[in-house]
C-alpha cells in the first residue's frame, strides 16, 4: 500500500545538477545521498548516473529504509545509520555528497511521530524510532536549567526559562507531558507574545527535535567527514532549512576555503585550501508556490580542491 504521507523534494534538479557538475573524466564514481528521506534526490541521481557509477544512501528513519527497499537498481545501496557515519567510507572514494537536512514532510504529517503541534500524538520526535530516548522520556526527568538551555540554544527562544519552569511544574503537579497537544498548549499558555503568523510552540518543538536527534552535532561530524571521503574535484551540496544549520555549513565552507598559515613557521608554505565555495541557491518563486515548505531552504555548494 502506498504511503499516505507524501514528500515533495526541495531543490531537486538544482541539487542533482550541482552534485554532478564536475564528473570524473573516466572510471566509476561513487555518490552519497546522506539523507535519503523518501528518495527524491536518490531517484533522480540514479536516472542520471552512468552504468558503472554507484550511489550510497544513509538514513536513520526506519520508514525511509522501507521506502529505499523499493529501489531495485543494482547501483544503489542504503545504510540504516545517521550520516555522521559518512567517515566510515574509504578516504577519497566519493565524488559527490548531498545532505538535505531537517525533517521530511511524512515525518511532520504523521501524528505518531510527534514532530508537529498541528496534530495530537505521542511526544516522540526521534528520527530513528528503533533506538534512543523520546522527547517525552527526556522531559520526564530533565531539570529546569537543562530544558531551558536546550530551548534557548536550539530554538533561539527568548522565553526558554519560563517554558522550562512550566514544563517541570506541570510534571510535578500532574505528571510528565506525553503528547504534542499537551506541550503545545503549555507553551501557548507561557509565551505571551509571538511573531505574527507563528505558533507559540514553533521554536520549542524545533529545539527539542534538534536536541533529541543531536542534529547539529551530527551535521558537524558529517561535514568534517566530507573532507576525508571526497576525492579532488568532488562536490558537497548541503540544503538547510534554518539559520542554525546554515550557519554551521557557511562557516565550515568558509574555514576550508582559504589557505592556512602556521604562525610558528612564518616562512613555511601555507596549507592549501580544501574547498572552493561555488554557489548559494534558494528555491525560486514557482517552487515556493508549489511547496511552501521550501521557503526557508538554502543550498550551499562547494568543491573539494586538489590535495597537495
Task: Spell out the domains of the chain, with CATH numbers in brackets.
Answer: 12-105+215-304 (3.40.50.150), 128-212 (1.10.150.170)
pLDDT at 196 over 70: yes
Cβ atoms of 229 and 167 closer than 8 Å: no
Statement: residue 143 has pLDDT above 90: yes
Q: Which residues contact 224 (CB under 8 A, 6 or more apart)?
A: 87, 252
Model confidence at 1, in pLDDT bands (50, 70, 90)? very low
- Is 261's pLDDT higher than 60? no
Comparing 24-33, 79-88, 243-252, the range with the smallest average pLDDT is: 24-33
- pLDDT tier, 151 (very low <50, low <70, confident <90, very high otherwise): very high
Asked if the model's pLDDT at residue 3 lies above 60, the reply is: no
| CA-based nearest residue to 237, from 279, 283, 274 | 279
Interval 244-250 mean pLDDT: 97
pLDDT greater than 80 at residue 307 = no
- Residue in 187, 160, 165, 180 with CA at minimum distance from that of residue 114: 180
pLDDT beyond 90 at 285: yes
Which residues lie below 8 Å from residue 74, measured CB to CB, with a gap of 6+?
Answer: none
At residue 268, the pLDDT reads 54
Share of the chain above pLDDT 70, in %: 93
CA separation for the pair 222, 268 (Å, rounded): 30
pLDDT for the residue numbered 78: 98
Amino acid at each position: 500500500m502506498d504511503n499516505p504521507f507524501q514528500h515533495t523534494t526541495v531543490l531537486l534538479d538544482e541539487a542533482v545538477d550541482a552534485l554532478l557538475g564536475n564528473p570524473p573524466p573516466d572510471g566509476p564514481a561513487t555518490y552519497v545521498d546522506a539523507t535519503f528521506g523518501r528518495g527524491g534526490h536518490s531517484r533522480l541521481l540514479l536516472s542520471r548516473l552512468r552504468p558503472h557509477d554507484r550511489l550510497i544512501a544513509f538514513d536513520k528513519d526506519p520508514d525511509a529504509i522501507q521506502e529505499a527497499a523499493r529501489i531495485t537498481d543494482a547501483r544503489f545501496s542504503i545504510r540504516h545509520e545517521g550520516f555522521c557515519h559518512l567517515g566510515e567510507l574509504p578516504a577519497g572514494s566519493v565524488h559527490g555528497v548531498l545532505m538535505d537536512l531537517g525533517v521530511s514532510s511524512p515525518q511532520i504529517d504523521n501524528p505518531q511521530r510527534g514532530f508537529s503541534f498541528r496534530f495530537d500524538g505521542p511526544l516522540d520526535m526521534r528520527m530513528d524510532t528503533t533506538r534512543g530516548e523520546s522527547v517525552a522520556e527526556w522531559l520526564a526527568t530533565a531539570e529546569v536549567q537543562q530544558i531551558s538551555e536546550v530551548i534557548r540554544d536550539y530554538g533561539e527562544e527568548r522565553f526558554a526559562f519560563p517554558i522550562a519552569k512550566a514544563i517541570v511544574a506541570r510534571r510535578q503537579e500532574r505528571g510528565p507531558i506525553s503528547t504534542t497537544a499537551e506541550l503545545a498548549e503549555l507553551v501557548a499558555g507561557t509565551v505571551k507574545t509571538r511573531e505574527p503568523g507563528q505558533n507559540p510552540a514553533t521554536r520549542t518543538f524545533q529545539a527539542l527535535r534538534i536536541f533529541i536527534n543531536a542534529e547539529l552535532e551530527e551535521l558537524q561530524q558529517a561535514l568534517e567527514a566530507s573532507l576525508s571521503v571526497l576525492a579532488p574535484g568532488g562536490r558537497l551540496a548541503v540544503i538547510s532549512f534554518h539559520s542554525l544549520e546554515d550557519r554551521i555549513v557557511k562557516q565550515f565552507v568558509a574555514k576550508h576555503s582559504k589557505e592556512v598559515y602556521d604562525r610558528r613557521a612564518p616562512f613555511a608554505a601555507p596549507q592549501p585550501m580544501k574547498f572552493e565555495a561555488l554557489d548559494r541557491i534558494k528555491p525560486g518563486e514557482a517552487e515556493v508556490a508549489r511547496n511552501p515548505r521550501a521557503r526557508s531552504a538554502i543550498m550551499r555548494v562547494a568543491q573539494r580542491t586538489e590535495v597537495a
